[in-house]
Amino acid sequence: MNVTHLECAACGLRHEARRLHNLCAECGKPLLVRYDLKRAAASLMRESLPGRGPDLWRYREVLPVENDENIVTLGEGFTPLVHASRLGAQLRLSELYIKDEGQNPTQSFKARGMAAAVSMAKELGAQKLAVPSAGNAAGALAAYAARAGLEAHIFMPRDTPRANVIECEQTGAQVTLMDGLITDCGAEVARRKDAEGWFDVSTLKEPYRIEGKKTMGYELAEQFDWELPDVIIYPTGGGTGLIGMWKAFDEMEQMGWIGSKRPRMVTVQASGCAPIVRAFEEGKRFAEEFPNAQTTASGLRVPRAIGDFLILDALRASGGTAVAVTDEELIDATKEIGAAEGIFCAPEGAACLPALQKMQSAGAVKAGERVVLFNTGSGVKYVESFS
C-alpha cells in the first residue's frame, strides 16, 4: 500500500487517506491521491508488467486499494490501442491511433473510475452510493455496486439515452430521472445525501474515480513502449480522464518510467455545451457555467465542471488546445470512423475526428505526428442519436 495521503488540488491541504472524503475540508475543491512513488517503483518494474493480468489492476502499486479482497472488478481496462491506418491515410496521418474504451465492461471508460471508486467505498465502509450522471457513469456505478453488494442511487436527466436507463435498472440500481441537466441531478444528490446516508461518488467530488481513469495514461505509455504520443484528443465533460492521464504522466516520470516529454492535451466539446473551450479561448482559469447546454453527445452535456481549473491547467501546460465541434460534425464522424476502422464510437468519442480535422486545418498537427483519439464509449448505447 503506497498511498501517503490525499492532497487538495487547489490549496494543497493534506487529508488523511484511510477515511471517506469528498471535497477539500478547507476550500471545497477536489482531492488527489498521493503515493510514495519511490516505494511503488521499487516493487513495480515496467519489465514485470507483461506478466500481469490484462486489466487496470496491473498497475496495482499505484492504485489506492489496500486489501486485495476489496477489489471490485469486471475486467476493466487494458483496452486496445488501434492503429487507425485507413482513417489515417484519408487524413494523411501515418501515426493515428484510437484508444477504444468502448470495450470496457458497461461499454465505456466510466468503468475504470467506478471500479476504483466502488472498491474504495467498499474498503472504507460506505454502503449506499449516489451519483448524478449523464448516462455512462450511472451504468458503470450500477454494475460495480451490484458486484460489490452495495446500493446504487442514480440521478439522470430524463432525456438520457434509453440504454443507460435500462442498464441501471437491470443491474439493480435505484433510478431517478429528473427534468434538467447533470448539474441539477448533482444538486439533488447533495441536498438528500446526509438524510439518506448516501456517499456521493460524483466525479472529482470523491478522490478515487480519477485514480481508475488515470490508468488510461499508464496504458498509453505501456502500449507505446514508454514513449508518449504527440497529441491526445479527449472528449471532455467533467474532464476526469484528461486530468487523470496528466497525473499519471507525472507519476510515471517520478518513477523513472518515462521522461519529461508530454503530449499536447486537447479537449473536445460540443458547440452546444463548450464551457472549457470558451474559458480556454478567453484565457480564464475557471470556466463559467454554459447556458442552455444542448448536445446529442450526452456525456458532453456538462455545463459546469468542478475540475475546470485542472483541465485548463493541463491544456495550457502541455501546449494543447480546446476545440468545439457541432452535433452534425460528430454524428457524421461516427460513420466515418466506423466505416474506415470498424469501431462504432460513442458520439463523444467520434467528436475527436472533426476536432483533429480542425487542428489540421489550423496547422496545429503535422503529418508525421503520433495522434491518439479517445473513443470513450460504444455507439451501441446511443441508438436515438442515429435514428
Ligand X SMILES: Cc1ncc(COP(=O)(O)O)c(C=O)c1O
346 makes contact with ligand X (CB under 6 A): yes
Stretch that binds ligand X, among 64-72, 132-140, 150-158, 223-231 (CB under 6 A): 132-140
Within 10 angstroms of residue 150's Cβ, the number of other Cβ atoms is: 18
Give φ, ψ of 24 to 5 degrees: -55, 130
Among 119, 215, 236, 296, binds ligand X (CB under 6 A): 236
Question: In the 8-state DSSP scheme, what is residue 155?
Answer: E
Among 241, 263, 303, 320, binds ligand X (CB under 6 A): 241
Question: Binders of ligand X among 357-386, rule CB under 6 A?
Answer: 376-377
3-state helix, strand, coil in the chain (%, to 5): 45, 15, 40
Q: CA torsion 233→207→72→222, rounded to 10°?
A: 40
Q: Say how many residues touch ligand X, by CB under 6 A.
A: 19
Dist CA 193 CA 261 (whole Å): 43
11 makes contact with Zn ion (CB under 5 A): yes
Residue with smaller CB distance to Zn ion, 23 or 63? 23
8 makes contact with Zn ion (CB under 5 A): yes
Among 24, 44, 56, 372, binds Zn ion (CB under 5 A): 24
Query: Contact at 8 Å (CB) between 21 and 200?
Result: no
Residue with smaller CB distance to ligand X, 137 or 189? 137
Residue with smaller CB distance to ligand X, 217 or 238? 238
What are the beta bridge partners of residue 108? 377
Alpha-carbon separation of residue 333 from 9, 234, 349 (angstroms): 35, 15, 9
Question: Binders of ligand X among 157-196, rule CB under 6 A?
Answer: none
Stretch that binds ligand X, among 21-29, 129-137, 257-265, 273-281 (CB under 6 A): 129-137
Question: DSSP assignment of 81-138, as one string?
Answer: EEE-HHHHHHHT-TTEEEEEGGGSGGGBTHHHHHHHHHHHHHHHT--EEEEE-SSHHH
Residues in the chain: 387
212 makes contact with ligand X (CB under 6 A): no
Which partner, ligand X, Zn ion, none, binds residue 8 by CB below 5 to 8 Å per kind? Zn ion
Residue with smaller CB distance to ligand X, 104 or 119? 104
Residue with smaller CB distance to Zn ion, 13 or 178? 13
Question: In the 8-state DSSP scheme, what is residue 60?
Answer: G
List residues binding Zn ion (CB under 5 A). 8, 10-11, 13, 24, 26-27, 29
List residues binding ligand X (CB under 6 A). 108, 110, 134-137, 203, 235-241, 299, 346, 348, 376-377
